[in-house]
Structures are given as structure tokens and as C-alpha cells.
A and B are shown apart, each in its own frame.
Chain A
Amino acid sequence: MITWQMPAALAIALFLMGLLGLLARRSLVFVLMSIEIMLNAAGLLFIAAGMRWGTADGQIMFIFVLNLAGAELALGLIFLLRLRNRLTTLDGDAANTLRDA
């Protein structure tokens, strides 16, 4: 018997882990991965809520979260490559000026 709290608790735990990675890591690869973990946790919560009410809306929202994650990841990885080419580091703290170096 699965109550709706179980997947919700899992989603919260995963979201917090992603947030922890986002706050604590400096490498941009891991920062992007943490964002994906957080989006995935949000998708799990949508699906759990959709199943709680027995409608397809949860899965539809999951598809949109997936869309968002894909679009965000493409841009994030391009930024990562540009940063690596320009500053020769993956440290997010190094990108602290918006002007041309």
C-alpha cells in the first residue's frame, strides 16, 4: 500500500540533495547535474499528485518538466563549454565578470 506521502517524501529528499549539491559544489558539471536532480524530483512530485487524484495531468506536467529540463540543459552545457574555453576552468566562481576578458 503506497500512500501519497511516500513518493512526496522521496521527492523532497531528492530535491534537497540536489539543492545541497547546487550550494556546495563549485564544478559547473555538478551544478548542472544538481539542477537536473531537482527538476526530476519536481517531476516525481507531479506524478505522485496526479496519481493521488487519478488523472493524467500529473504525467502531462512531467512531460513539460522534461521539456524544460532539456532546454535548460542544452543552454547550460553550452555556457559550460564557453566558460571552459575562455577561462580554462570549470569553477563557477571564476565567472564573476560579464565583460570581455
Chain B
Amino acid sequence: MTVVFFIAAAITLVTTALAITRANPVHGLLNFVISLLSMAVIFFTLGAPFAAALEVMVYAGAVVVLFLFVVMMLSLDTRATRREREWMAKPIWVLPIIFVAVLGGLLARVMFFSPGDDIAPSIITPQQVGARLFTTGIGAVELASMLLLAGLIGAFHLGRK
């Protein structure tokens, strides 16, 4: 399992780095899909099969397809890709990389100060997740439904001609 985890983690990191540096949005999205699928493999190795299935269905399925539809509606051409490449000139990356490196150092310092414990070698089944979600977490489910309704109404209102 550890080997699978490391391979999937390496694929996730590489494809995510590719996804945020492509000039063509479709290329970026395809790299993003691969990173999401390897993330699903990571969820499996951690013992969360329900989350892995959701990752494939909702993220790699619905979210990326939504992205692709919008990119199609934008009807981008080679001119747009060229302009995109101009926006990604090297000096633009310098300051963000410095900020992100500082923040990453701080986060790593805070999170990895404590000694490493093994993850309990257990699998949380979908039955356990569902039982917990729809008993003690029922209020949060209602809140999530309100959030989705607000998003639906907002998207409908903003998308109207």
C-alpha cells in the first residue's frame, strides 16, 4: 500500500504542476483529471473507498465536465493561447513563488513538529460514513442543501440573459 501511495502521490504532484502551467486550458484540464484520479487512488490507500468513489464521480466527472463545457463555450483559438503564454512570462512567477515558499515553510514547521503516528490500518466503509452523516450530521446535511440551493438560484439569476 505504501508503494501505491507514493506512486500516486508523485503522479498527483507532477500532473498538478503541469495543470497550473499550461497555456491551453484543455491541456490543463486533462492534467487536472489525471491528478484527481490519482488522488482517488490515494483515498483508497488511506482506507476511504467512499471518498475515492466520490472523487472520481463528482470531481473527475461532474466538475471537470462542467469546466470543459465552459471552455468549449468560450471558443478559444490559437490567438488566445498565444496571449495566455504572454501572460505567463517568467518575472510574473517570481513573487508568488517566494510567498508560497515562505507559507509552505511555515506550514511544514507547524504541522511536522510532532512525532509521526501511523494511520490506523482500518477501512471506513460507506455504511459507517452514511450512518454517521445521516444521524449526528443531519443538520450539516440540511445546511449543505441550502448552500446548493443558493448556488443554484445564484447561477440561474446570473446566467439569465
Contacts and interface: CB of A to CB of B under 8 A. Distances in A.
A98 interface: no
Contacts of B35: 37
The size bracket of the interface on A is: 35 or more
Question: Secondary structure of the B side of the interface?
Answer: helix
Contacts, number: 218
Interface string A78-89: 111110100000
Interface string B12-43: 11001101100001001100100110010011
Given A3-B118, A18-B20, A56 B100 contact: no
Contact of A2 (B48, B93, B118, B152): B118
14 contacts: A2-B5, A4-B117, A9-B112, A12-B108, A18-B20, A20-B20, A24-B97, A27-B25, A30-B25, A33-B29, A51-B124, A63-B133, A66-B58, A70-B58
